[in-house]
């Protein structure tokens, strides 16, 4: 795939001009809410599309633009659109591309807030939807005459199912359906869905792209001017774009993006292999293991298998909580993808308000643990998990 060997270089230099304001090596933070024009001619040239620049802070910012250019280059897109969070990116993108009486398909292992938006918000505007397993067979069987959009994560959350992107693109192109992949867990280091023919890629840039647990951002990348312009117009209305300071932090985080993902790929696989061999672990959900249902697809499609591992403790909700409390290195916290390892008991962190029965109905077991591998030494992480398991 194009530029595949250049991720390290793209992370540092992609999307940036060589010569920056005031001869600065680093892109400056342009902290302003509006932009002035030299004269009426410059204003008219801008309105006619002859003079690309910024007009008002709700529409764009020079620091934001550099971050967008960098992200577009990493994911092999012609442009990207940055938002104030991953969910803002998801919601605005879906709103901009659906119509009343249209039908969309979303996979059942997608982030629960995404599914909630489809179920509770889009349905209010007459949008029909189907929730299906993250497989080509299930998706294809759910397509209706009025299906206009298919949305899935790959890998998914929290069971890390990997969708056949080439197969999905073939179906959607044939039927003129928009395809969207949330590629947050894979990152553009491990996977570039646009190269397979997917229309749009979404990331929660809060996670691996920012990489330091200190910003919130979301991004959509594509190769269609038409689709991107629709989304951009809706962002201009809602105003949920990323601010200059967070854009600066994102650019800084992206400089070390490839280095971090390489470490997290290596550590994730070693940690998953260790967990699978432990007698107190019933099951490990990680696409780099042969036991994973999508191992073959992952092997063909992913450069690395990522730093997110889900696994099931041999025990109940209380015993699983004891394990969580016994680990010393990771923080008990939601989110993922930063330099610090994080851990959570999924049923309590994300599904606390549900009963056991309700959790099982949506596929969440009470002994399920989600571990986000940071950049710490993997031997330290393994030793920490080993001592925690020995105490339950």
CATH number at residue 147: 3.40.640.10
Say whether both 54 and 83 belong to one domain.
Answer: yes
Nearest alpha-carbon partner for 123 in 137, 136, 139, 104: 104
pTM score: 0.94
Express as a percent the part of the chain with pLDDT over 70. 99
The CATH number of whichever domain residue 279 belongs to comes to: 3.90.1150.10
pLDDT at 349: 87
The answer on pLDDT for 128 being more than 90 is yes
Are residues 323 and 369 in contact, defined by beta-carbon separation less than 8 angstroms?
Answer: yes
Q: Write the pLDDT tens digit of every residue in 343-387.
A: 999 999 888 888 888 888 888 899 999 999 999 999 999 999 999
Task: For residues 39 and 29, give the distance between their C-alpha atoms in angstroms, rounded to a whole number.
Answer: 25
Residues 4-19 have a mean pLDDT of 85
Shared domain for 139 and 224, answered yes or no, is yes
User: For residue 4, is pLDDT > 60?
Assistant: no
Closest CA to 16 of 62, 80, 61: 62
pLDDT in tens, 165-215: 999 999 999 999 999 999 999 999 999 999 999 999 999 999 999 999 999
Rounded CA gap, 313 and 319, in Å?
Answer: 8
Same domain assignment for residues 205 and 262 = no
Supply the pLDDT for residue 186: 98
> Do residues 97 and 178 touch, judged by C-beta distance below 8 A?
yes
Average pLDDT over residues 262-269: 98
User: What is the average pLDDT score of the chain?
Assistant: 95
Number of domains in the chain: 2
DSSP 8-state secondary structure symbol assigned to residue 341: -
Based on the fold, state whether residues 375 and 238 are members of the same structural domain: no
Tell me: pLDDT of 3 over 70: no
Domain region containing 120? 4-255
């Amino acid at each position: 795939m194009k530029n595949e060997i250049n991720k390290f270089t793209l992370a540092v230099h992609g999307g940036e001009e060589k010569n920056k304001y005031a001869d600065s090596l680093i892109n400056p933070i342009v902290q302003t809410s509006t932009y002035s024009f030299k004269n009426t001619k410059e204003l008219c040239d801008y309105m006619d599309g002859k003079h690309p620049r910024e007009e008002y802070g709700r529409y764009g910012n020079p620091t934001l633009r550099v971050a967008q250019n960098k992200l577009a280059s990493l994911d092999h897109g012609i442009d990207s659109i940055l938002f104030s969070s991953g969910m803002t990116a998801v919601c605005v993108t879906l709103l901009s591309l659906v119509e009343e009486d249209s039908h969309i398909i979303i996979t059942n292992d997608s982030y629960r807030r995404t599914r909630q938006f489809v179920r509770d918000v889009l349905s209010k505007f007459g949008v029909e939807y189907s929730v299906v397993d993250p497989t080509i067979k299930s998706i294809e069987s759910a397509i209706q005459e009025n299906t206009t959009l298919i949305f899935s994560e790959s890998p998914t959350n929290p069971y890390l199912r990997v969708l056949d992107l080439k197969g999905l693109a073939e179906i959607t192109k044939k039927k003129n359906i928009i395809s969207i992949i949330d590629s947050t867990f894979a990152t553009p280091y491990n996977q570039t869905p646009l190269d397979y023919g997917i229309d749009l890629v979404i990331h929660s840039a809060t996670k691996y792209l920012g990489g330091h647990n200190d910003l919130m951002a979301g991004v959509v990348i594509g190769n269609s001017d038409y689709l991107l312009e629709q989304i951009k117009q809706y962002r201009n209305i809602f105003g949920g774009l990323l601010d200059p300071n967070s854009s600066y932090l994102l650019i800084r985080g992206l400089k070390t993006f490839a280095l971090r993902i390489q470490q997290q790929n290596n550590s994730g696989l070693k940690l998953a292999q260790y967990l699978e061999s432990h007698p107190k672990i019933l099951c490990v959900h990680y696409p780099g293991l042969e036991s994973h249902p999508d191992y073959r697809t992952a092997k063909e499609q992913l450069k690395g298998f990522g730093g997110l591992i889900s696994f099931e403790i041999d025990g109940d909700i209380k015993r699983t909580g004891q394990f969580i409390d016994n680990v010393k290195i990771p923080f008990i916290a939601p989110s993922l993808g930063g330099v610090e390892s994080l851990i959570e008991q999924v049923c309590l962190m994300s599904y606390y308000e549900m009963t056991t029965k309700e959790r099982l109905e949506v596929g969440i077991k009470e002994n399920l643990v989600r571990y986000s591998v940071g950049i710490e030494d993997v031997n330290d992480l393994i030793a920490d998990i080993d001592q925690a398991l020995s105490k339950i």
